[in-house]
A and B are shown apart, each in its own frame.
Chain A
Amino acid sequence: GQQVMQIPQYQHVQEGEDFTTYCNSSTTLSNIQWYKQRPGGHPVFLIQLVKSGEVKKQKRLTFQFGEAKKNSSLHITATQTTDVGTYFCAGREYGQNFVFGPGTRLSVLP
């Protein structure tokens, strides 16, 4: 079955440093979503990517969908303490449900 992996598992950065998490699927995806989960909270939708090679930006966050639609990345520029949390990608094959990756837990040191 479809597997979705994310690296790194954990990332500790100093406030102001950049952060990137990578998501890889074992199969070609129809679309991919990114979620953020604060400690003790629930997943909150960030964005959906649909097109091959798509790049979307939300303020300091940049999301990219690979050309082969099997990988994606989330890049945060100049991290802030409010960025702390676990970032999950969730990939969907055509006609299937979303499969969540294991997440990357981001810690930001002030």
Chain B
Amino acid sequence: EPEVTQTPSHQVTQMGQEVILRCVPISNHLYFYWYRQILGQKVEFLVSFYNNEISEKSEIFDDQFSVERPDGSNFTLKIRSTKLEDSAMYFCASSASGLAGSSDGYNEQFFGPGTRLTVL
């Protein structure tokens, strides 16, 4: 069964450093998302991406965050200057259709296993 993969599984970085989190979405999916989950808390939407551009982003997704699809398979999240409060699990997700569609099941989001980011 196709799945979303993410690397690395755990990233430890010093405050102020840049990190890049990588994701390989399911191959025939067109919509990609990043979420974060601070330990023990709820899942928070960061950004959605379609047709090589950001379609929506949340208040969390400020200027220190950026996303990119550098080739036909990878989808990356970059945090330019990490802060202690960026420590969280970051999940990538993909879907066959966008969130604007209301067709039953077509915008099911498939989540990757996550990257645990620890900022020291």
Contacts and interface: CB of A to CB of B under 8 A. Distances in A.
Interface of A: 30-31, 33, 35, 41-45, 48, 50, 88, 90, 92, 95-103
Given A48-B105, A97-B58, A42 B99 contact: no
Contacts, number: 50
Contact of B114 (A42, A98, A103): A42
Interface in B96-112: 99-100, 102, 104-105, 107-112
A39 B41 CA distance: 12
A35 B105 CA distance: 13
Given A88-B42, A97-B45, A100-B45, 20 more contacts: A35-B43, A35-B111, A42-B91, A43-B43, A43-B111, A44-B111, A45-B109, A48-B104, A48-B105, A88-B43, A90-B43, A97-B58, A97-B99, A98-B45, A98-B99, A98-B109, A100-B35, A100-B43, A101-B42, A103-B42
Nearest to A44: B111
Interface size grouping (class) on chain B: 20 to 34
B34 to A, nearest CB: 11
A106 to B, nearest CB: 15
B68 interface: no
Given A43-B91, A97-B99, A98-B99, A50 B111 contact: no
B48 interface: yes
26 contacts: A30-B102, A31-B102, A33-B108, A33-B109, A41-B113, A42-B91, A42-B111, A43-B43, A43-B111, A44-B111, A45-B108, A45-B109, A45-B110, A48-B107, A50-B102, A50-B104, A88-B42, A90-B43, A92-B99, A95-B100, A97-B48, A97-B58, A97-B99, A100-B42, A100-B43, A101-B42
B18 interface: no
A6 B110 CA distance: 22
The 10 closest A-B pairs by CB, nearest first: A100-B43, A42-B111, A102-B42, A45-B108, A97-B45, A43-B111, A100-B42, A97-B56, A50-B102, A42-B114
